[in-house]
Structure 1
Amino acid sequence: MSRIQANLLLLVIALIWGSAFVAQSQGMADVGPMLFTGVRFLIGAAVVAPLAWREWKQLARQGKTPTATDARHIGGLGLLMLVGAALQQVGIISTSVTNAGFLTALYVPLVPVLSWLWLRQLPHWSVWPGALACLVGAFLLSGAHELNIGVGDLWVIASALPWAVHVLFVGRVADKLAAPFLVACGQFLVCGSLALVYSLFMEPVSLKGLIAAAGPIAYTGVLSVGVAFTAQVVAQRYAHAADAAIILSSETLFAAVFGYLMMGDRLNPAGFAGCALILGSMLVIQLLPLFRMGRHKPASVLDHPV
């Protein structure tokens, strides 16, 4: 997969995730946040399971079945996904779709910072102003400049750190194992199983509630988890983690669009300015490194093995 193809795939992922904020908000009317999270991630695991099984058999034929260390890495990704998804889902109960999209995007500036501090991997200089512009754009887009931050917003803010760490490492783990579908399915199983077990003990669970929320659960399980999160694992084998964070942050823009179309959210002039900043930052972070391609190899997660 080429760099451009990976970036386009990441953009499609952002579109799916942006639309999923609406479904996540609607689903909370009938089930608890951990039950919603658990069922949708197990559905996602079922979607990608056939591809994961094929990869497992291929690895077995080559004598490269996952080791205990690989299993721990996949489990770690699942735990990060669980914490991020659970905090985000709890927050969506009491905040708007647009605000949730903005506050989730706080992971964008965290990724290059963590990459620099943790991995000693310094990204292209354009990532820093690009991340800042993206954050400011999301801030304007959300309307959060009115300083109306509630408890739900704080929960979503807390989800930014585990999402940032997940973005930082998911491509590295998938590339080391050379089995992106297996990694995706494994992390979904860990996340979904733990969330479901928690919900059975700590939340009211009823068949009536699950049936009522079946549409949002199915949409987020099949598309947001099964398709988009799996595609993220594939795409990030060929994209720099910081670059991927910038592109994936456009889910903020898509969340605002779908919130406008389906839930009555409205964009003011500041919101439109935020859209322009997000799109501009995406272009800057992708186009500037291309000027050096003739002389230098572009940075990639492939250059930094786990």
Structure 2
Amino acid sequence: MDKILIVQTAFIGDAILASSLVQTVLRNRKDVELHLLVRKGNEGLFKNHPNIKKVWIWDKAKKYKSLFGLIPTIRKAKFDWIFCVQRFGTMGLLTTLSGAKKKVGFRKNPWALFFDFKIDHQIGDGTHEISRNAMLLTPWLGTQPTAEPPHLVIGEKELNKVRTYADEKEFICLFPASVWFTKQLPFEKWLELIAKHPDQKIYIMGAPGDKLLGDNLISQTQHKNIENLCGKLNLLESAALMTKARMNYVNDSAPLHLASATQSKVTAFFCSTIPQFGFGPTQPDAKIIETKTELKCRPCGLHGKKSCPEGHFKCGREIEVPTLKS
């Protein structure tokens, strides 16, 4: 039985996508002991997964102190294989010093020289991130596997928490916030979207820091049945509510991947980024909406920016928001 550690300590969305790698491992080999290393704050996503032996945690706030406290413990665990999904140096160093019999990671990692197997990672050709990540398993399996969809396990505790909200006959969920300005559908477009759904119960969703945005949307709409849930639900509870919604409207951000990992209905708005980067929804019935105008400046970056470099933000402002029927 191989003892395996998957390393993905990036943002929430990246951790959710790493669940695809977990599922791909399990589909190909049942006789494994599977461990996962994530950034502190993301561990709750995997607490219900029956096939993950242990979720290891790296505290980014304590960076190297946390890292060098973690490495000896990982070495003692004596892993057979370590798959480093992260392409940055900190986790490359951990992988190098992990003591695992076989170390696999992407060639772009600064520590790739010390990996036993180095895999190419190419963004922009339309390949989805879950397929790029699945390539890491090729040296272990002896063949390149097909990526399984991301998957999160929602428990009874999460379903019970959202039961009151989910009892509404019909409702939609809006996730209006993003860390990056140019990945966030403009405020006035969210108001327009709300106005196009007068007969639906609407929940505005997000983190505690998104509450003000939700309050501002509610204060500027005439909608009679809208509620701000920002900060009231954790990630798995939010995912539980998403599974019951008629539609979830999201930016190119973590809630998009929550929808993919729970097979929830989703409409994703892509402003400055493009689906061809490989971070779009994975479910076949998902809807992607982007500007119909050919803009020479789009995409302006892989992760979005704090402001529009051109000053006009046409990639967001020219998006046509839908109704449930469109």
In the superposition, the TM-score normalised over structure 2's length comes to 0.24
Q: Which has the larger radius of gyration?
A: 2
In the superposition, the TM-score normalised over structure 1's length comes to 0.25
Query: Could you say which structure has the higher helix fraction?
Result: 1
